[in-house]
Chain A
Amino acid sequence: MVRRIVIGFVVAALAAACDRFDMVGLVAPASADVEARVGESISMFEASGPRVLTAPANGYRMYICTDIHTDEYPHRFEAFVRSMRSDGQAVGGLLLGDIANRKGSLGIAAAVADTTAATGNGAPLMAIVGNHDLFFGQWDDFKRYFGSSTYCFTVSTPGFSDLYIMLDSGGGCHGRRQMDWLKTLLRRRGDYRHCVVCTHVNLFRTDLSQFVSGNLPLEETYQLMELLSENGVSLVLQGHDHHREDVVFGGVRYLTLDCLKDGTDNASYLVLEVGDRLLCDFKEQ
C-alpha cells in the first residue's frame, strides 16, 4: 500500500513538473473556455476596427505556416518570416496555431516575428491559437503577444477584394458564438473574389497520421462543412496534424499543412499564390 502511494506521488510529481503537456489542460479547461475566448477575441477585433491589407496588383502572395512548437529559438520560423518579408509580392503571413511547445515560449516566437517587422516589405504576421497555446493558462499570453484569435481581414487589390477568416479551434470546438459570428460574416461572401478560412484543428481523419491527434466533434464538423459549402468558401487552411492533406468536399478545398517545427523531417510552409485562382506552392524545409 505504501509502495503504491509513493509510486502515485512520484508519477503525480513528474506530471506536474512537465512544462510541455498540461495534465490539467488535458482533462479540464486550462485557459478560458471557447465561448469566453471568442467573446474576448471578438471584442478585441471590433475595438481595433476592420483590417485591410493592400496589394498593388490583382495577384499577390500570402505566406502560411503552422505548428512551429517553439521550445528554444525557432530557426525554421525565423527563415519563414525572413522569406515572407523579403518577397516583394507578399502582403502578409499567417501562423495557424501551436506556436508554443512549452510554458512561456509564446513570447519567443512573438519576438522572432517582431525583430524582422521593420525590415523588407514589413508584411504583418497574423496568428490564431492552437491547443498547445492554451495549456498552462497561456491564453492571456496569446492575447498579449498576438491579440485576437477570432477575426477577419481583407486584402484589397486594384480590381478585387479577398476575405480571410481566422477561427479559434484550440479547445477542440469552435463553439456556438464563433459559429454564429462566422455565419453572419459569410453573408457578405458575395462581395469578395476569394474567401479563405483558417482554423487550427484539421476537420478530417482520413489516414493513420491522425490516429493520435484529436479533432472536432462530428456534429460541429458537419455544421461547419455545410456553412463553408453553402457560402462557396474557396479554401480552408488547417494545421494540428503535422502532415499535409488535400481533400475536396462539397466544392470546398480543405488543406492541412505540414508542421514547421525545428528538428522534424516533414517541415514545410505554404506560399499561396492568389490571382484568378489560388495556387499552392509548398516550400520544403
Chain B
Amino acid sequence: MVRKRASIVLSVLAFLLPAAQAQRLSLDLRTTAGHNYAQGGYASVGALGCYRPDSAVAVRFGVQCGTGAVMAYTADWTAAMRLGSVKLQLVSKGLWRRFAGWHIDEFSGLVAIGIGWRGWDVHVGLASRMMADSRTAWLDERTGWLSEPFNLMYELRYKAWFGTRRRWLGELAVANYDDFVIDRAYQPLFSCSAGWLVSEKVELAARAVLHPTGMLSLSANYYEAWFNIQMILKW
C-alpha cells in the first residue's frame, strides 16, 4: 500500500515539476556516517528540497533521520542581492531536532547576514534555542524547558571550481552551523568538500567534517568526525 502511494506521488512529481518549475527545483539526497563521544558510531540519511522562485531567493526544506532515534527537520530561506562582484545575503533558518532516546526536543532559529566575493563566503548571525523535555508538558511547567537566547553564529567558506569545463568543485569551511545543526558558539565544524558536476542535472559531492570541542574558550579536545556523500538532482 505504502509503495503504491509512493510510486503515485513520485510519478505525479516527475510529470508536473519539470514543466512547472524548470531549473528551479533541486533535491539533495545524502547519507552520513560518523563518530562522536555521545553516540559512538552513527549513521543517518537525509533529503533537502530547494525551490528558487527567482535568482535572488532560495527556500529549502529538509529532513534527516539517524540511528539513536535522532530526527531533524529544517527549513531555511536565503535572499541575495548583488553589488558589482559582491554578493550580499540574508539567511534565516529554523531547525527542530528530536532526540527520542534522550527525551529532548530542540528548537533553534537563526538569522545571519553574509557577504560573498570571489569564492569567499562569510556569514555572521545570532541563534536562539529552546530545549524541551518531551516527557513533560513543557508549555505548562517551568521545569520542562530551557532557552538559550544568545548564540553567536559564523561561517567562513571558500570554494573553487576546477577543470577545463569547471566541473570539479573544492571547498573548505569553518562554521558552527550546518544543514541539520545549529551549534553553540565555541563548537566549530571544520569541513572539506569535493563536488563533481556529472551533468547539468546531477551533481555528486563528498564531505568530511571534524568537530572538536573546547576550542578557543576551553581547552581543545576531539569530539566528533563525520563523512557524507550527496547526490543533488536538479530540475
| Contact call B149/A27, Cβ cutoff below 8 A | no
Contact with B along A247-265 (1 / 0, CB 8 A): 1111100000000000000
Q: Is B76 an interface position by the 8 A CB rule?
A: no
| Contact call A170/B218, Cβ cutoff below 8 A | yes
Q: Is B136 an interface position by the 8 A CB rule?
A: yes
CB distance from B189 to the nearest CB of A (A): 11
Q: Is B20 an interface position by the 8 A CB rule?
A: no
Q: Which of B102, B136, B151, B219 contacts A31 (CB 8 A)?
A: B219
| Contact call B184/A226, Cβ cutoff below 8 A | no
Which of B2-10, B81-89, B140-148, B156-164 lines the interface with chain A? B140-148
| Contact call A219/B143, Cβ cutoff below 8 A | no
| Contact call B220/A26, Cβ cutoff below 8 A | yes
| Contact call A219/B148, Cβ cutoff below 8 A | no
| Contact call A171/B40, Cβ cutoff below 8 A | no
| Contact call B146/A27, Cβ cutoff below 8 A | no
Contact with B along A144-178 (1 / 0, CB 8 A): 00000000000000000000000000111111100
| Contact call B219/A171, Cβ cutoff below 8 A | yes
Contact with A along B90-130 (1 / 0, CB 8 A): 00000000010111101000000000000000000000000
CB distance from A228 to the nearest CB of B (A): 11
Q: Is A220 an interface position by the 8 A CB rule?
A: yes
Interface centre among B40, B152, B213, B214 (most CB of A within 10 A): B214
| Contact call B223/A214, Cβ cutoff below 8 A | no
Number of A-B contacts (CB under 8 A): 147
Q: Which of A170, A216, A220, A222 contacts B219 (CB 8 A)?
A: A170
Whole-angstrom CA separation of A174 from B37 in the bound complex: 8
**Contact of A214 with B146 at beta-carbon distance under 8 Å, contacts A171-B221, A219-B36, A250-B133 already known:** no
**How many residues on chain B are close to A (CB under 8 Å)?**
44
| Contact call B218/A218, Cβ cutoff below 8 A | no
| Contact call B213/A226, Cβ cutoff below 8 A | no
Q: Cβ of B217: which chain A residues have Cβ within 8 Å of it? A: 26, 131, 212-214
**Contact of A222 with B220 at beta-carbon distance under 8 Å, contacts A214-B185, A250-B133 already known:** no
Interface centre among A179, A219, A247 (most CB of B within 10 A): A219
Q: Cβ of B135: which chain A residues have Cβ within 8 Å of it? A: 250
User: 20 A-B residue contacts at CB 8 Å?
Assistant: A22-B219, A26-B216, A27-B215, A29-B220, A170-B218, A171-B214, A172-B213, A172-B221, A173-B223, A204-B148, A207-B149, A213-B217, A214-B214, A217-B37, A217-B223, A222-B104, A225-B102, A226-B102, A249-B143, A249-B145
Residue ranges of B at the interface with A (Cβ–Cβ < 8 Å) = 36-40, 99, 101-104, 106, 131, 133, 135-136, 142-152, 183-187, 211, 213-224
Closest 8 CB pairs of A and B: A172-B214, A214-B217, A171-B221, A214-B186, A172-B213, A226-B102, A219-B38, A131-B218
- Other A-B pairs beyond A173-B223, A222-B99, 11, CB < 8 Å: A27-B215, A27-B216, A132-B219, A172-B221, A206-B146, A214-B217, A217-B213, A217-B223, A222-B38, A248-B143, A249-B145
